[in-house]
Amino acid sequence: MREISVSLLVETISELCLEANLVLNADLYRALEKAVEEEESPVGKECLSNLVANADAARQNQLALCQDTGMVVVFAELGQEVRIVGGDFEAAITEGVRHGYEQGFFRCSVVNDPFLRENTSDNTPPVIYTRIVPGDTLRLTVVPKGFGSENMGAVQMLTPAEGKEGVKRFIVNTVLKAGANPCPPLIIGVGVGGTMEYAGLLAKKALLRPVGDKHPRSDLAELEDELLTAVNNLGIGPQGLGGRITALAVHLEVYPTHIAGLPCAVNLSCHSLRHKTKVL
């Protein structure tokens, strides 16, 4: 059994929180630069080039990319040959978030209860998904998720008869309803299949793919392209002020499902899609 100490876990989560909020991933940075070239609306072009400038300013001045430093989602893939020693696994992840947010001077946006709504003042707890996988490593991904875009996501239990057309209609309507609120240009995560909550999880995981990478299955890659075109035809544009580029990418993930169902979830991310991964 390989041992990993909770103190290493705390330190790693803290670092990932800091990096995710301060440094825009290179794939997204490039996608924004490309969008500046492609956008036809002058207002949209200016928004996009300011977003590139914002990423530079954040890195140089150690300022959060966005003041909404999000609620933290952590994906942990724990190798079954790893033993966590020295304390509680989830408590260590929570402690890492607390430490990272304090170190980074990031905004604490989490409230203790959906009805009581008292700020916990340290941005905890995070939302943690753990999978046990073969091997002797621990893979940690930290996703600080802003709620301007999280609020505009949706899940729909479609019928098998509605098929691909139903999925398309639902996604395009979700983006249309969202309008300017989720800070376009968007990255659109779509999960189809599984059960209601699993479709939502797939949609969130779809956001983590490098921006613009296509699904390896050609029929699904084609569907992603069709969806991207349909969404960009809406004309919402950068910041919702009109333009060609409403989304930078649509990422779709699928999973087997029940004979009676076609669950479909859309998880929207703003242009400030933040996630960092480290393997221990």
Partner 1 sequence: MSVITKVCLPLDPQQAETLTAGTPVRLYGSLYTARDAAHKRLVQCLAKGEDLPLSLKNELLYYVGPCPARPGRVIGSAGPTTSGRVDSYTPRLLAEGLRGMMGKGDRAPEVVESMKKYKAVYFTALGGAGAILAAKIKRAEVFAYPDLGPEAIYRLEVEDFPAVVAIDAFGNNLYREGREKYIRR
Binding site for ligand SF4 (CB under 6 A): 66, 68, 146, 148-149, 182-183, 270, 272
Contacted by 54, from partner 1, ligand SF4, none: CB < 5 to 8 Å by type: partner 1
The helix (run of H) or strand (run of E) holding residue 105 is none
Q: Could you tell which of ligand SF4, partner 1, none binds residue 137, using a CB distance below 5 to 8 A set by kind?
A: none
Quote the CA–CA distance of 185 and 276 in Å, as a whole number. Answer: 20
State phi, psi for 71 to the nearest 5 degrees: -100, 135
Q: Which is nearer to ligand SF4, 9 or 28 (CB)?
A: 28
Least spacing, CB of residue 241 vs partner 1, in Å: 4
- For partner 1, the binding residues in 133-152 under the rule CB under 8 A are 146, 148, 151
Residue 15 engages partner 1 in binding (rule: CB under 8 A):
no
The Cα–Cα gap between 202 and 86 comes to 32
- Chosen residue from 105, 217, 225, 279 binding partner 1 by CB under 8 A: 105
Phi, psi of 237 (to 5 degrees): 75, 175
Whichever of 70 and 191 has its CB closer to partner 1, that residue is: 70
Query: Rounded to the nearest whole angstrom, what is the least distance from the CB of residue 4 to partner 1 in the complex?
Result: 31
Q: Is 42 near partner 1 (CB under 8 A)?
A: yes
User: Based on CB atoms, which residue is closest to partner 1, 118 or 219?
Assistant: 118
Q: Which CB, 124 or 272, lies closer to ligand SF4? A: 272
Beta-strand pair 154-158/82-85: unpaired
Binder among 133, 220, 241, 280 for partner 1 (CB under 8 A): 241
Report the distance separating Cα 202 and Cα 198, nearest Å. Answer: 6
Distance CA 94, CA 82 (A): 20
b/e sequence 68-102, b meaning 16+ C-beta within 10 Å? bbbbbbbbbbbbeebebeeeebbebbbbbbbbbbe
Q: Quick one: which of 237, 263, 265, 267 contacts partner 1 (CB under 8 A)?
A: 237
Min dist. Cβ of residue 141 to partner 1 (A) = 21
Q: 61 CB contacts (<8 Å, ≥6 apart)?
A: none
Q: For residue 251, list its beta bridge partners.
A: 189
Amino acid identity for residue 155 in this structure: V
Residue given tokens 């991207």 in the structure block:
228
In the complex, minimum distance from the CB of residue 147 to partner 1, in angstroms, rounded to a whole number = 8
* CB of 109 vs ligand SF4, minimal distance in Å: 10
244 in helix, strand or coil?
coil
- What are the C-alpha distances in Å from 66 to residues 247, 255, 273, 277? 18, 33, 10, 19
Nearer to ligand SF4, 232 or 272 (CB): 272
- Tokens coding 233: 């035809």
Q: Which does 242 bind (CB under 5 to 8 A by kind): ligand SF4, partner 1, none?
A: partner 1
What distance in Å separates the CA atoms of residue 50 and residue 42, rounded to the nearest whole number? 12
User: Footprint of partner 1 on this chain (CB under 8 A)?
Assistant: 40-43, 46-47, 50-51, 53-55, 57-58, 61-69, 105-109, 117, 119, 121, 146, 148, 151, 179-181, 183, 233-237, 239-244, 270-272
